[in-house]
């Protein structure tokens, strides 16, 4: 059975298991806080691990709580003792977020309330089941984290060294790489704009707690980002998933230096990292075969704890991804065809229709490559000299849809985590996401379910929890089909643009008729 069908079946099984836990084993919500009366306010005496990670520590003063009423209106209740908070919690659901006014004075506390995610009561009968699913999900996430540093290091060094090996076709290679970098960057910017306009992560109820232990990074400006890219100690960067920016910088520089080295060192180092990358891909393949079971445990845990409301927020996220993909595929790329290649976008789309449908059905740029080459050459009129160079390289490093998806997915999760205790994204963080989404789109070649691994890399660099990326797998299949379609459509558009720049005549497309295939 193909991997995506196994993921779908186990995903549905995880949802069903969570619903059954919800239905048969009731779970009252708990704040995880023990308060004592302190005059006109309350003081925290004890706090759960989740509350502590959110910064709600013993000794802190609590003045009031903000919560959403059943009619959707926001309410505020003064807190002077334990029963005041518990009266609010009694009517709330597990996974819901309350906001506590905390600080030295009531005035200071009111200006910036702290989020508190309601947890399952320790007395809940389904808690042991939830803990079991959480244990297995944590093991799956640990295996994924294990792949991040070696996979990124070997893939980027191999990719940069491989591109440098194409120096015999300098002019064609430069045009091709420039096109792929520009279109991927445009795709990321489209995704960035759409997700910041729709903002589906704000107020989402995904049931994922934020760990303050992850937050070691503050929002930085552009110059801070540049400074942060350069590793002062490579080996220290290699032992931390949160230092991926430094690893990427070193890998790019190392790959460039391989292309500049003399023989036999150049071929030796190239072969060494190609072999290392091949081994890492085999390891990734073994670990990613566990995705169906990891998704099952993760969904069983989250649905069992918070219910199925999280799929409403994931639905809005899906719409944001689809909107961004459509804008890039139906506006950005056609404009490039019209004004750079001087080719009719409608005529080129008709010529590429068989390859587009193959990409949509297989969700694989590599599997679609033969169909793409046939369409580009026989139906589009691009020479074999151009297509045989541009398309295989595009199937390897040009991932417009993937780059857009990485950007939208990471910012969606960052918006959610900002509502449960994380710092909101600053300009430097968004620049970092753009850069790393571009690098991730280049490094995803031939790795099954690579979008998940690459999203983990970006989340690590932002010091955000990684579990959200695995949760997005629940609705990944249709998005994977669409973003692969955009990847292949962009490859074909690149062939037309580069072919035209090489003096090839594509005017026959305006009057060509194509038989359905």
Domain contains 45: yes
Whether residues 254 and 336 fall in one domain: yes
Domain membership flag for residue 50 = yes
Distances (CA, A) of 496 to 61, 208, 227: 65, 45, 39
* Cis peptide leading into residue 4 (ω within 30°): no
Q: Which of 121, 130, 141 is nearest to 295 (CA)?
A: 141
**Helix segments in 1-63, DSSP class H:** 3-24, 49-53
Whether 115 and 137 map to the same domain: the answer is no
User: Residue 149 falls within a domain, yes or no?
Assistant: yes
Q: How far apart, in whole angstroms, are the C-alpha atoms of residue 499 and residue 504?
A: 5
394 and 452 housed in the same domain:
yes
pLDDT score recorded for residue 192: 92
Closest to 493 in 3D by CA, of 403, 401, 380 = 380
| Same structural domain, 157 and 102 | no
Per the rule left: phi > 0, alpha: psi between -120 and 50, beta: everything else, 55 is: left
Torsion sign across C-alpha atoms 448, 289, 242, 317: positive
Tell me: do 258 and 197 sit in the same domain: yes
User: 332-341 — which CB contacts under 8 Å span 24+ positions?
Assistant: 332/183, 332/186, 332/187, 332/190, 333/183, 333/400, 333/489, 333/490, 333/493, 336/183, 336/493, 336/497, 337/493, 337/496, 337/497, 340/497, 340/500, 341/493, 341/496, 341/497, 341/499, 341/500, 341/506
CATH number at residue 223: 1.10.3860.10
Dihedral pair phi/psi, residue 309, rounded to 5° = -60, -25
Specify the pLDDT at position 446: 43
- Pick from 99, 120, 141: which residue ends a domain? 120
The residues near 418 (Cβ < 8 Å, ≥ 6 apart) are: 201, 202, 424, 425
What are the pLDDT tens digits along the chain (517 aa)?
566 567 678 878 888 888 787 776 666 778 888 888 888 889 888 887 677 766 788 888 899 988 887 777 888 889 888 888 888 888 787 777 888 888 888 887 787 788 887 777 766 666 777 788 888 888 887 887 787 778 778 877 876 776 555 444 567 778 888 898 899 899 999 999 999 999 888 877 776 766 554 444 444 445 555 666 787 777 877 776 556 667 777 887 888 888 888 888 888 998 898 898 888 878 877 877 787 888 788 778 777 766 666 677 788 899 999 999 999 999 999 999 999 888 889 889 988 888 888 888 667 776 677 788 888 888 888 887 788 778 877 776 667 888 898 889 899 988 888 877 677 777 778 887 888 777 766 655 444 455 666 777 778 777 787 777 777 876 777 788 888 889 899 999 998 998 888 887 766 665 555 454 4
Rounded alpha-carbon distances, angstroms, from residue 119 to 82, 90, 130, 476, 508: 16, 12, 12, 27, 65
Confidence (pLDDT) at 2: 60
Q: What are the C-alpha distances in Å from 314 to residues 8, 15, 200, 204, 474? A: 16, 14, 8, 8, 9
- Determine, yes or no, domain membership for 168: yes
342 and 439 within one domain? yes
pLDDT of 393: 72
The number of distinct structural domains making up the chain is: 2
**Closest by CA position to 341, among listed 182, 512, 495:** 495
Same domain, 54 and 190: no
Taking each continuous run of H as one helix and of E as one strand, the counts in the chain are 21, 8
Residue 458 covered by a domain: yes
Return the bridge partners of 76, or none: 66
418 found inside a domain: yes
Decide which of 62, 95, 120 is a domain's last residue.
120
Q: In terms of residue numbers, what domain contains 317?
A: 132-510
Q: Output the domain CATH number for residue 64.
A: 2.30.42.10
- What does pTM read for this prediction? 0.67
Residue 3 in domain: no
Residues 185 and 227 in one domain: yes
Query: φ, ψ for residue 163 (rounded to 5)?
Result: -65, -40
**φ, ψ dihedrals at 63, nearest 5°:** -105, -35
- Distances in Å between the Cα of 280 and the Cα atoms of 108, 151, 287, 361 are 52, 6, 10, 27
In a domain, 7, yes or no: no
Residue (of 417, 394, 502) closest to 463 by Cα position: 417
End residue of a domain, out of 120, 145, 160: 120
For residue 358, the SS3 value is helix
């Amino acid at each position: 059975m193909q991997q995506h069908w196994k993921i779908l079946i186990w995903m549905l099984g995880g949802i069903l298991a969570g619903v059954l836990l919800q239905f048969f084993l009731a779970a009252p919500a708990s704040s995880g806080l023990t308060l004592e009366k302190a005059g006109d306010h309350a003081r925290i005496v004890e706090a759960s691990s989740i509350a502590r990670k959110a910064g709600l520590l013993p000794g802190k003063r609590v003045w009031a709580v903000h919560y959403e009423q059943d009619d959707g209106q926001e309410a505020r209740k003064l807190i002077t003792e334990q029963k005041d908070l518990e009266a609010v919690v009694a009517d709330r659901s597990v996974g819901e977020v309350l906001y506590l006014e905390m600080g030295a004075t009531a005035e200071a506390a009111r200006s910036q309330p702290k989020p508190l995610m309601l947890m399952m009561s320790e007395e809940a009968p389904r808690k042991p089941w939830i803990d079991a699913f959480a244990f297995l999900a944590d093991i799956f996430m640990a295996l994924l984290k294990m792949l991040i540093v070696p996979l990124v290091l070997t893939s980027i060094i191999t990719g940069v060294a491989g591109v440098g090996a194409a120096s015999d076709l300098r002019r064609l290679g430069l045009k091709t790489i420039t096109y792929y970098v520009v279109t991927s960057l445009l795709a990321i910017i489209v995704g960035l704009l759409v997700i910041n306009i729709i903002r589906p992560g704000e107020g989402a109820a995904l049931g994922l707690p934020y760990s303050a232990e992850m937050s070691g990074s503050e929002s930085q400006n552009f110059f801070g980002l540049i400074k942060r890219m350069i590793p002062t100690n490579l080996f220290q960067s290699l032992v931390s998933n949160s230092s991926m920016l430094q690893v990427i910088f070193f890998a790019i520089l190392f790959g460039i230096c391989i292309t500049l080295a003399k023989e036999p060192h150049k071929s030796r180092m190239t072969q060494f990292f190609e072999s290392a990358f091949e081994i890492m891909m085999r390891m990734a393949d073994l670990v990613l075969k566990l995705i169906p079971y990891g998704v099952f445990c993760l969904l069983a845990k989250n649905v069992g704890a918070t219910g199925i409301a999280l799929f409403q927020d994931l639905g809005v996220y899906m719409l944001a991804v689809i909107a961004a993909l459509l804008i890039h595929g139906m506006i950005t790329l056609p404009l490039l065809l019209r004004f750079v290649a001087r080719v009719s976008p409608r005529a080129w789309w008709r010529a590429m229709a068989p390859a587009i449908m193959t990409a949509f059905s297989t969700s694989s740029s590599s599997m679609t490559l033969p169909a793409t080459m046939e369409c580009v050459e026989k139906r589009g009129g691009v020479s074999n000299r151009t297509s045989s160079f541009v398309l295989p390289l595009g199937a390897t490093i040009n991932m417009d849809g993937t780059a857009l998806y990485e950007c939208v997915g990471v910012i969606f999760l960052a918006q959610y985590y900002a509502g449960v205790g994380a710092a909101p994204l600053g300009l430097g963080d968004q620049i970092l996401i753009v850069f790393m989404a571009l690098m991730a789109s280049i490094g995803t070649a031939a790795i099954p379910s690579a979008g998940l691994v690459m999203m983990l890399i970006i989340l690590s660099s932002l010091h955000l929890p990684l579990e959200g990326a695995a949760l997005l797998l629940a609705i990944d299949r249709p998005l994977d089909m669409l973003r692969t379609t955009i990847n292949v459509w962009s490859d074909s558009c690149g062939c037309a643009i580069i072919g035209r720049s090489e003096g090839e005549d594509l005017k026959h497309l305006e009057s060509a008729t194509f038989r359905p295939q």
